[in-house]
Structures are given as structure tokens and as C-alpha cells.
A and B are shown apart, each in its own frame.
Chain A
Amino acid sequence: MNRPEREAAVRRIMDRTPPRVPPDLYADVVRRGARVLRRRRLLRRLVWLTLCAAAVALLVWALTARPWVEPPSQTTPPLTGW
């Protein structure tokens, strides 16, 4: 038996007795798929919400703390009495 014949024989063995598709498969698939979609949407919203909240928090902090303003020097003592 050469290779194509062997492969054809195995295909015939595998083609025997296909299983019956359950009738409620479509409803089950749509239920599961819709759940996956809902979860993804929720996750995406959560991520966006977190990003927006972080951006707003950064803005508020920057406006109140003003980190770009040079702080008054505290190392040199004031020069007095000479």
C-alpha cells in the first residue's frame, strides 16, 4: 500500500458514523458568544475609564503642585551683617 492509498483508507475510517448535531447548539453558542462580547465591552469601558481618571488626576495634581516652578533655595543662609 502506498501513501495515497493509506491516507485514503484512514480517511474512510474517519468518515464513518458522523455524530448528530444537538438541536440546541445554536442557542447555546449565541448565549456564550454574547457573554464574551459583553465581557469584552465591559473590560474596554473599564480600561478607558481608568485612563481618563488617571489623566484628570495628573492634570489636577500638576495644576496644584506646579512642579515646573523652581522651589526657593534652602541651602544658602541669608547673607547678613557684613
Chain B
Amino acid sequence: MRQRRQARDTRRAREFEAFVAGAAGRLLHTAALLTGEAPDDTPRARRLLSLALAHTYACWDRLRGDDPYDHARQYLATRFAHGAWHQYGAPGRPPAHPDSALAVLGPQERLILVLRLYEGIAEEQVAALLGLPRERVGTVCDRATATVLHPPRPPAPAVGGAKVAPS
């Protein structure tokens, strides 16, 4: 009994380590895009990522054929949504770093844009995940796309990563 349990634990640890090795890079990129931090300094994204992966680790035996990447991504998104919508505009929360690709967007726009375009989740699934109407997801995604491609006049001269050349 104990031996079987040990064997199961080691197999689980091996599987989970392989999963983390494969998925951590992409998930960390997603988390960094969500939090709007500069690519070389991502404390909040790391915290989000380790919370999501820890949750996946705790549920590993109950996944039973479900995609663990999907599970981790879903947890990451909902956790970020809760944090962002509860503390939106709170004084303690720093604004997006200007080096981030999505610095011009708000947290909800970043969340929807990243889920729709970077992760490629269907509009209906994003709407169900966030509890929004499907039309709203589409509208926010279109508006965020336009804002990223043609950013409004930057408030500080440091913002200029995604500027288009004048034609």
C-alpha cells in the first residue's frame, strides 16, 4: 500500500515537473501581459503564476484527462480578474509599466485582449469565463485592438513602444 502510494507520488511529481517545464514560459508571458509589467521585472506576474500552478498541483489527481494548461490558465485569468476589478484604480496599485506591450490598456481590456488573441480562446468561452455578455467581449476586444495599434497621444514621452510611423 505504502509502496504503491510512493510510486504514485513520484509519477505525479514527474508528470507535474514536465508540465511546469513546458507551460511555465508561456503562462508567465500571459501573466506578464495581464499585469502590464516590464518583461525583465515581473513580481506580480510571478506571484499569479505560482498561485495558478500551485492550484493545478493541488488538483492534479482530480483533473482526469482535463488539460492542466487549461486549468492553470483559467485560474490565472479569474484570479487576475478578481484582483483587478476589486482594486481597480486603488492607490496602492501601480499603473502598467510603459515598457509593457499593453501599457496603454486598462486591466479589463488587457485581460480580454490577451485571452482572445494571445491565448486564442473563443469569444463565447471568454464571456462565460468572465461572466460578461458575448457582445461586450467582442466590443472590448475590438476597441483594445484599435488602441494598441493606434495608441492615443502618450501622456509621457517615455511611452512609444507601439507607435506607428506617420504615413
**Cα distance A6–B46 when bound, in Å?**
29
B41 to chain A, nearest CB (A): 9
Are A14 and B20 in contact (CB-based, < 8 A)? Answer: no
The total of Cβ contacts below 8 Å across the A-B interface reads 83
- B55 at interface by CB-CB < 8 Å: yes
Which chain A residues (1-29) contact chain B, with CB distance < 8 Å? 1, 6-7, 9-11, 13-22, 25-26, 28-29
Q: Is A37 an interface residue (CB 8 A)?
A: yes
Residue positions of B touching A, CB distance < 8 A: 13, 16-17, 20-21, 24-25, 28-29, 32-33, 39-40, 42, 45-46, 49-51, 53-58, 101-102, 113-114, 117-118, 145-146, 148-149, 162
A:30-69 near B, CB below 8 Å: 30, 32-37, 40
The CA-CA distance from A30 to B54 in the complex, in Å, is 6
CA distance A57 to B145 in the complex (A): 64
Across the interface, do A33 and B28 meet the contact criterion of CB distance under 8 Å? no
- A39 CB → nearest B CB, Å: 9
* 17 contacts across the A-B interface (CB closer than 8 A): A7-B117, A13-B162, A14-B117, A14-B118, A16-B101, A22-B46, A25-B20, A25-B24, A26-B21, A29-B53, A30-B16, A32-B51, A32-B54, A33-B57, A34-B57, A35-B54, A36-B55
Min C-beta distance of A30 to chain B, whole Å:
6
Give the distance in Å from the alpha carbon of A20 to the alpha carbon of B49 in the complex.
13
Name A11's contact: one of B46, B49, B57, B118 (CB within 8 Å): B118
**Closest CB-CB distance, B36 to chain A, in whole Å?**
12
Q: Out of A1, A6, A14, A33, which one reaches B54, CB within 8 Å? A: A33
Which residue in chain A gives the minimum CB-CB distance to B102? A14
**B101 and A14 within 8 A (CB):** yes
Cβ-closest chain B residue relative to A9 = B149
* Complex contacts, B54 vs chain A, CB 8 Å: 29-30, 32-33, 35-36
